[in-house]
């Protein structure tokens, strides 16, 4: 994900822009043809229903909902399984789920609308709207544009710890960007960047004069009739809606209900909550080139800007599924990944937070859209269901039908086996019989980093407890590993172990601690 990438050629940009979102003209079918089409559609629906039911079981998904749009009609909207394993309640098309990173397309759409109104421009310097936002490199601070915030190629490395700490405000998160370590030269790579989409939401607020939440609610949700959608977890909870799914995670071989991971500190990157029914309305809007009931909410020009390739994908693809799909090209637009599938253009995006998954897939030329929610962590059946829907409702384009679920189960199962082998090999490097250089209490103290904040170590009943931010998921007891390296399982241990390696100064005192062997996560002792 950190390799330098080539910028897309002008020919590729023009080719992608040529994909049509217009409604094709068609002759009025005869009664016999209509009956035949109805029977075929019923057969397709039954096949999809059986595919989903089997997939939910095979992948161990507690609950899932899906909606599919074809030619401006919702042809499928159903729920499967339960909202939570901790109680009763079936999932239906009105069950609320987090849409996570598929929120990004809403933020990009908001900016496109503001460009239409001449309240900002795609190429405005970011500092015109966020003068307080400074980047590690002077060139970045001077040259990065509003559009760059949406493309994941600003040059910054991963920065999710800024918001997953849980104790930093949005303004403080953006203030600390200046202390991040660049991962590659500006506009010459791809590292997924939630924090920059958080900054884009602030641009929306500054340019529009209202908050990002209010903009999304009044300019998108209300015109589209998305009456059961909420811009943040906090606003959703305040509505006291009973039909809400719970997140689940497999911990020590048992699927357990966990707490939701709030994305509200960077809401414009992944905080929206919605339903399968409401997301069908969003897909109809996108498949009709930004129109609802014939009324255009965004200009055709700026609508198409959202789907123009901005960054060419990494050599190994954005997702492991690329090894099976084998697209000829992969790009990122503004809030959407893009690829070719069976000879057609596809725009899609996943959403993932602890215990939840989502995916949106659009095949504009065929007027087909699919949205999938799941309430367990990284159940990649979402990809299989998207491609199955494309096969059923857009046709295989002369290619043989495939069982995407079975193929992806093998793909991800093999990946997990390789990961287990790698963990075992790492564990085998442990040098047994060693001891820390100092007594445990000598390691206690506050360690700090200008971007990542404070890492606190305190004695707790004879052991060291680490705290990195607030919340149960950011604390855990240290276990000695070897020499001056310890391991810690944070929260309920769902993320595995993190390594902490301490460094001593010439006087033999603890000077710093490094997380997971990464130089960008070195905390200096106060």
Residue pLDDT, tens place only, 262-309: 999 999 999 999 999 999 999 999 999 999 999 999 999 999 999 999
d(CA 25, CA 23): 6
Cα-atom radius of gyration of the chain, to the nearest Å? 24
Q: Is the distance from CB of 184 to CB of 191 less than 8 angstroms?
A: yes
CA 101 to chain centre: 3
pLDDT for the residue 471 = 75
As beta bridge partners, residue 523 has 513
Q: Does an H or E element contain 361, and which? A: strand 356-363
What confidence tier does 20 reach under pLDDT thresholds 50, 70, 90?
very low
pLDDT category, 18, cuts 50, 70, 90?
A: very low
Would you say 284 and 72 are in contact if contact means Cβ atoms under 8 Å apart?
yes
The domains located in the chain, with CATH, are: 36-121+184-418 (3.40.710.10), 440-525 (2.40.128.600)
Tokens 């997140």 locate to: 247
pTM here is 0.92
Query: What is the residue whose two structure tokens read 């009456």?
Result: 227
Report the chain's mean pLDDT, rounded to a whole number.
Answer: 93
pLDDT at 28: 57
Tell me the mean pLDDT in the region 366-371: 98
CA distance 213 to 198: 12
Count how many Cα atoms sit within 13 Å of the Cα of residue 325 in the half-sphere of its side chain. Answer: 28
Between CA 86 and CA 457 the distance in angstroms is 34
* Residue 204: closest CA among 193, 220, 192: 220
Q: Which helix (H) or strand (E) holds 391?
A: helix 381-394
Phi, psi of 245 (to 5 degrees): -80, 160
Q: Rounded to whole angstroms, how far apart are CA atoms 363 and 349?
A: 12
If residue 235 lies in a helix (H) or strand (E), which one and from where to where? helix 233-238
Length of the chain: 526
CA gap 384, 359 in Å, rounded: 10
CB 373 within 8 A of CB 101: no
Cα separation, 393 vs 403, in Å, equals: 15
d(CA 411, CA 320): 8
3 has pLDDT over 80 = no
Query: In the structure, what pLDDT confidence band is assigned to residue 16 with cuts at 50, 70 and 90?
Result: very low
User: What is the rounded average pLDDT of the residues 150-176?
Assistant: 95
C-alpha dihedral (496, 422, 384, 401), degrees to nearest 10: -170
pLDDT, tens digit (0-9, with 9 covering 90-100), for 193-233: 999 999 999 999 999 999 999 999 999 999 999 999 999 99
What pLDDT shows up at residue 164?
A: 94
């Amino acid at each position: 994900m950190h390799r330098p990438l080539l910028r897309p050629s002008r020919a590729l940009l023009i080719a992608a822009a040529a994909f049509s979102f217009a409604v094709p003209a068609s002759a009025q079918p005869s009664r016999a043809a209509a009956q035949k089409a109805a029977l075929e559609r019923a057969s397709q629906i039954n096949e999809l229903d059986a595919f989903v039911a089997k997939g939910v079981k095979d992948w161990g998904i507690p609950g899932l909902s899906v909606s599919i749009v074809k030619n401006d009609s919702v042809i499928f909207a159903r729920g499967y399984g339960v909202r939570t394993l901790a109680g009763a309640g079936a999932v239906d098309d009105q069950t609320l789920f987090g849409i996570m990173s598929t929120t990004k397309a809403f933020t990009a759409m908001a900016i496109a609308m503001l460009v239409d109104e001449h309240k900002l421009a795609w190429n405005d310097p970011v500092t015109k709207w966020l003068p307080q936002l400074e980047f590690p490199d002077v060139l970045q601070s001077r040259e990065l544009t509003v559009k760059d915030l949406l493309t994941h190629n600003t040059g910054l490395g991963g920065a999710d710890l800024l918001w997953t700490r849980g104790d930093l405000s949005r303004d403080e998160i953006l203030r600390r960007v200046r202390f991040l370590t660049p991962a590659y030269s500006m506009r010459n790579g791809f590292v997924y960047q939630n924090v920059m989409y958080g900054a884009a939401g602030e641009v929306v607020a500054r340019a529009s004069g209202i908050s990002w939440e209010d903009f999304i609610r009044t300019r998108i949700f209300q015109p589209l009739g998305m009456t059961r959608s909420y811009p943040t977890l906090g606003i959703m909870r305040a509505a006291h809606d009973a039909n809400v799914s719970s997140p689940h995670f497999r911990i020590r071989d048992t699927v357990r209900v966990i707490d939701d991971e709030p994305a509200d500190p960077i809401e414009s990157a992944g905080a929206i909550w919605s339903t399968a029914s409401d997301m069908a309305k969003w897909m109809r809007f996108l498949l009709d080139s930004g129109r609802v009931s014939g009324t255009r909410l965004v200009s055709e020009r700026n609508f198409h800007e959202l789907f123009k390739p901005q960054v060419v994908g990494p050599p190994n693809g954005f997702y492991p599924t690329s090894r099976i799909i084998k697209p000829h090209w992969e790009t990122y637009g503004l809030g959407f990944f893009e690829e070719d599938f069976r000879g057609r253009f596809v725009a899609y995006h996943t959403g993932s937070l602890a215990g939840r998954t989502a995916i949106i897939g659009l095949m504009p030329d065929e007027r087909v859209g699919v949205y999938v929610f799941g309430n367990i962590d990284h159940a990649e059946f979402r990809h299989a269901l998207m491609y199955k829907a494309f096969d059923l409702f857009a046709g295989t384009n002369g290619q043989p039908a495939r069982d995407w679920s079975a193929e992806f189960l093998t793909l991800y199962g093999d990946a997990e086996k390789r990961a287990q082998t790698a963990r075992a090999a790492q564990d085998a490097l442990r040098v047994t019989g060693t001891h820390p250089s100092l007594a445990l209490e000598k390691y206690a103290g506050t360690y700090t980093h200008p971007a990542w904040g404070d890492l606190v170590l305190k004695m707790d009943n004879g052991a060291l407890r680490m705290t990195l931010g607030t919340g149960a998921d950011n604390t855990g007891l240290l276990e000695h590993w070897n020499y001056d390296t310890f391991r810690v399982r944070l929260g309920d241990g769902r993320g595995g172990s993190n390594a902490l390696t301490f460094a001593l100064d010439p006087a033999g005192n603890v000077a710093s601690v490094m997380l997971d062997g990464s130089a960008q996560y070195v905390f200096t002792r106060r």
